[in-house]
Amino acid sequence: MSSIITLEPADYMTVAMARLIQDGERIFHGVASPMPAVAIQLAKKHHAKKAVYLSIAGTADAVPTEFSRHTTAGANLREGAVSEFLLSDIFDLSARGGLDVAFLSGAQIDEYGRLNLSAIGSFQQPKVRLPGGAGSAALLPTVKRAILWKTTHDTRSLVEKLDVITAAGNTEYVITPLAIFKRGKQGKLQLYSIFPESSFDEIVEKTGFKVEKHPQYHVFEPITEREWELLLEIDKNGSRFSEFR
Amino acid sequence: MTTVKENTFLYGWEHPDKMREYRKNNKSMAKKDKRTTLKEAVARGVKEGDYIVFGGMGSVRNPIAAVHEIIRQGIGNLTIGTKGSQHDWQLLAAAGNVTNAEVSYGFADEVRGLSLPARRAVESGRLKVLSETTNAAFQWRFTAAAKGLPFYPTRSSLGTDTLTYSGSKTIIDPFTKEPIELLPACYPDVAIIHVHRADKYGNCQIDGNIAEDIEIAHAAKFVIITAEQIVPDEVIESDPAQTKIPYFTVDAVVEVPYGSHPNQVPRLYSFDEDHWQEWLDASITEETTEEYLDKYIYSSNDFYDYLEKIGGVRVLRQLENIEKKLAPYPTVARRRG
């Protein structure tokens, strides 16, 4: 990687997501998921050619030629698909044990990788009413491994206690602009890797739950030339930045 | 059978036999010309206090024209099943027509951010979130209704507040001897679905993602179809495999070109980002939200009137060109302030 380019958190996060995808896996993302959408194509072009792409746009194995910055449920995500595969099919696939990876996010994530997408404050009288859990409470417990992401890393988003437990289940990784957590002993998230611009102390300070290093803790491998080329080629519109203001 | 979890959050449920009786007495399955005006269809189909669901997925193919008409007619105290719908029900919430919602995904506009008017309505107590549910649960609740069943069993949401705040019951499954969640069937009073094309009888063709539109058409007591185009019978007959909703589920058919504006109808027209920006800016305060509703909805005679106000043919043709990739995609509208 050339050192002249300033990499953004979205670059690290997208590459990190791609690297966690294994060849042959069936992978799903929902709405408002620009980084996972790009990451899946990156993985497919890089090391996971036989990964199967399932999206909320309702098809299997689409090969989008373009990613928009305005929607991740649009018709562009249906280009080149081989089959209709609706959201309802994805829930069924997951329920019967055929979905390998789901990318999910939430307003709050706790140390068990559980999600709050419902409310800040109480459910009945919320201080902030959140979007709603969408498919997360159905997918998180049934998918083999969930990769969560958060575009902010602070004590408000990575919390000790969720205000509402919208979804719980098989969270394996959590990716933030600063780091990657992986589920470890007693089902708790542990620090798996740190992105170059951050530090262990910063992670501890900005995380609401207790931070321990995962046995597989390592320094995040620099983005390779090949990954960078593919990232720019796949995401020429910069849709990966659209979740960041 | 042991019931582990009882509930107090049951909405949209009916006894299957009561629904059979309802259909027998109220639902004509005759093949007849069902074309009407949006004004008449809404006046006939949507009543004070109804439970409504909208077709489409996310910000795609939403029946916005019908929403405008409900707002104009001032039909209130509505309950919305927000199975993934956004701008449609958020406009109703902003205008005060909605007092209750069952929520799966409803308070955000995807990458554009959280929806302020719907949030304000909840946070101030004007709008009550009756229960939380998942997209899957809605799908299966409509499926149960479409199949004439009282519930749909699933192993999915156990151990979450989504289950706690839902209409589901948990029992011990007699086969596995393990807990299983029973989702109550959901029979909406009204389903409003915007489609690419329909014939005058209500045979509907949808291009691209059909979401849960088939299930809600079969589950709902009253089905309003708004179509971009009413086509001659031969168009449907020449490609019946493309017909997703058959006429005998449909109660009213209305031709509404650009009926999803400012949202997208795949292959026909794209999002109107300029109008989205105007809405996002207007929705920041109660006063400017009210001004928006006045300007575009209350003071419009119908949706054609609205389409003139947003720029008429010039703007609409541009949105078609963007969708066909004959024009570049404009700057994406974002929440400011």
Q: What is the mean pLDDT of residues A212-240?
A: 95
At residue A75, the pLDDT reads 66
At residue B4, the pLDDT reads 57
CB B63 within 8 A of CB B113: no
d(C-alpha B280, C-alpha B336), whole Å: 7
ipTM of the prediction? 0.88
Burial A108-124 (b: 16+ CB within 10 A, else e): bbbbbbbbbbbbbeebe
Q: Does A238 touch chain B (CB under 8 A)?
A: no
pLDDT digits (tens, 9 = 90+) for A149-184: 999 999 999 999 999 999 999 999 999 999 999 999
State whether residue A239 is helix, strand or coil.
helix
Domain B16-270 fold is Glutaconate Coenzyme A-transferase (3.40.1080)
d(C-alpha A118, C-alpha B29), whole Å: 40
- Closest to B104 measured CA to CA, from B142, B64, B138: B138
What confidence category does residue B1 fall into, taking pLDDT thresholds of 50, 70 and 90?
very low
Residues A241, A100, A212: CA angle, nearest 5 degrees: 70
Chain A CB contacts of B160 under 8 Å are: 114, 137, 165-168
d(C-alpha A141, C-alpha B154), whole Å: 12
Predicted confidence (pLDDT) at residue A1 exceeds the cutoff of 60: no
What confidence category does residue B140 fall into, taking pLDDT thresholds of 50, 70 and 90?
very high
Q: What is the mean pLDDT of residues B116-120?
A: 93
At residue A32, the pLDDT reads 82
d(C-alpha B310, C-alpha B259), whole Å: 13
Report the percent of chain A where pLDDT is more than 70: 95
Q: Mean pLDDT over all residues of chain B?
A: 93
At residue A65, the pLDDT reads 81
At residue B7, the pLDDT reads 61
At residue B333, the pLDDT reads 87
Asked whether the beta carbons of residue B134 and residue A164 sit closer than 8 angstroms, the reply is no
Chain B CB contacts of A125 under 8 Å are: 125
Asked whether the beta carbons of residue A123 and residue B154 sit closer than 8 angstroms, the reply is no
Asked whether the beta carbons of residue B110 and residue A73 sit closer than 8 angstroms, the reply is yes
Asked whether the beta carbons of residue A74 and residue B60 sit closer than 8 angstroms, the reply is yes
Predicted confidence (pLDDT) at residue A3 exceeds the cutoff of 60: no
DSSP A36-82: HHHHHHHHHHHT-TT-EEEETTSEES---S---SS-SSSGGGGTT-S
Asked whether the beta carbons of residue B123 and residue A138 sit closer than 8 angstroms, the reply is no
Q: Does A81 touch chain B (CB under 8 A)?
A: no
Ranges of each domain in chain B: 16-270
In the stretch 182-221 of chain A, residues with CB closer than 8 A to chain B read none
Q: Does A141 touch chain B (CB under 8 A)?
A: yes
Identify the bridge partners of residue A104 per DSSP, sorted by sequence position: A148
CB B126 within 8 A of CB B100: no
What confidence category does residue A4 fall into, taking pLDDT thresholds of 50, 70 and 90?
low
Q: What is the mean pLDDT of residues A63-79?
A: 72
A33, A68, A70, best to mutate vs chain B, most B CBs in 10 Å: A70
At residue A55, the pLDDT reads 86
Report the percent of chain A where pLDDT is more than 90: 79
Compute the count of residue pairs across chains A and B with CB atoms less than 8 Å apart.
174
pLDDT digits (tens, 9 = 90+) for B239-256: 999 999 999 999 999 999
